[in-house]
Structure 1
Amino acid sequence: MGDRWAVEVDRGICIGSGMCLNHAPGRFALDSARQSRPSAPETDADEKVLAAAEGCPVEAITITLTDSGEVVFPPED
């Protein structure tokens, strides 16, 4: 069994560009305020979800490993 990820969107940073929807269809949605949210708070590790986080113009998406809390994205400096 692979890694499980917790996916969060910082709604205070999100600008509603929709890039996450383009990179990972079905994994993110925009609400009526055009703010992104993950479709599910946890998911199997998925390259499309990672691409969505990497492609977010304001780095509003955080991905962590559910079992350890280790940050997958954004990378630590």
Structure 2
Amino acid sequence: MKLIAERDRCIGAGLCTLHAPSVFDQEDDGLVVLLTESPSGPAADDARKVVEHLCPSKAIRMSGG
């Protein structure tokens, strides 16, 4: 799995950083920053949950498995 963050779609809700802090962070403007594009193990499961269910603006997506 590879993550892609579309900062221009991000609304700064912060659910990504709350649920997957080893994968996502926020800059001073509140917008998402990827800490890793290809998480593994439990971090990958957390990131998948963010992508599929939690990001309200759908600013984060995945490519691949």
Q: Taking structure 1 as the reference length, what is the TM-score of the superposition?
A: 0.71
AA at the equivalent of 2:63: T
AA at the equivalent of 1:23: H
Whichever structure has more helix as a proportion of its residues is: 2
Q: Structure 2 matches for 1:32-43, cutoff 5 A? A: 32-43=28-39
What 5-or-longer segments of structure 2 have no aligned partner? none
Partner residue, 2:11: 15
AA at the equivalent of 1:43: P
Q: RMSD between aligned alpha carbons?
A: 1.5
Q: 2:49 aligns with which of 48, 51, 55?
A: 51
Local SS of the residue matching 2:39:
strand
Identity level (%): 23
Cα distance, 1:42 vs structure 2: 1.9
* Higher gyration radius (CA): 1
Q: Taking structure 2 as the reference length, what is the TM-score of the superposition?
A: 0.82
Partner residue, 1:29: 25
Partner residue, 1:68: none
Cα distance, 1:8 vs structure 2: 1.2
